[in-house]
Amino acid sequence: MADEALFQFLHNELIQYVYKSAEQGEMENGRCITKLENMGFRVGQGLIERFTKDTPRFKDELDVMKFICKDFWTSVFKKQIDNLRTNHQGIYVLQDNKFRLLTQLSAGKQYLEHAPKYLAFTCGLVRGGLSNLGVKSIVTAEVSVMPACEWSFVRMQGLV
């Protein structure tokens, strides 16, 4: 099933819509990013519930992160996270060298300023997923050369 293509088209339309309605209402860029992130959050919450219905309880936070890097990322983006780093004190950095939603955009530094638009939804998605797994976090993403992308999760409080 070509679900991935369909989702990518829908995702792109979503971004166009949010930015177009912002133009008419004179919202700033930040508000659009927040809007997209919030939509991702709701979707992430629902998605993680469906996905982990039958999986056993996670042993600890690192287990949750490994789940996100392997199973969650594979299901949603068809590949695993390439690199996971942590300071074991609540900060995790995930590296994806070929982020699916950016590959169609550019393969270098072109359009770099537009990259955040395409990352906002996914930031929310992951934040929502983590939230429903009991991990409150702040998720941010950084791109220096497309399509490689770095995701940072900062845990706000421990597992419930």
Q: What is the contact surface with other proteins in residues (CB under 8 A)? A: 1-7, 9-11, 13-14, 16-18, 21, 35, 39-40, 42-43, 46-47, 50-51, 71, 74-76, 121
- From its phi and psi, is residue 94 left (phi > 0), alpha (psi between -120 and 50) or beta? beta
By three-state DSSP, how is residue 38 classified? Answer: helix
The count of C-alpha atoms lying within 13 angstroms of the C-alpha of 89, restricted to the half-sphere facing its C-beta, is 1
Which of 9, 111 has the CB closer to other proteins? 9
Which of 1, 160 has the CB closer to other proteins? 1
CB of 60 to other proteins, least distance (A): 22
CB of 44 to other proteins, least distance (A): 9
CB of 12 to other proteins, least distance (A): 8
Which of 5, 160 has the CB closer to other proteins? 5
Q: What is the C-alpha to C-alpha distance for residues 119 and 116, in angstroms, rounded to an integer?
A: 5
Which of 44, 147 has the CB closer to other proteins? 44
CA distances from 36 to 71, 99, 137, 139 (A): 24, 18, 17, 13
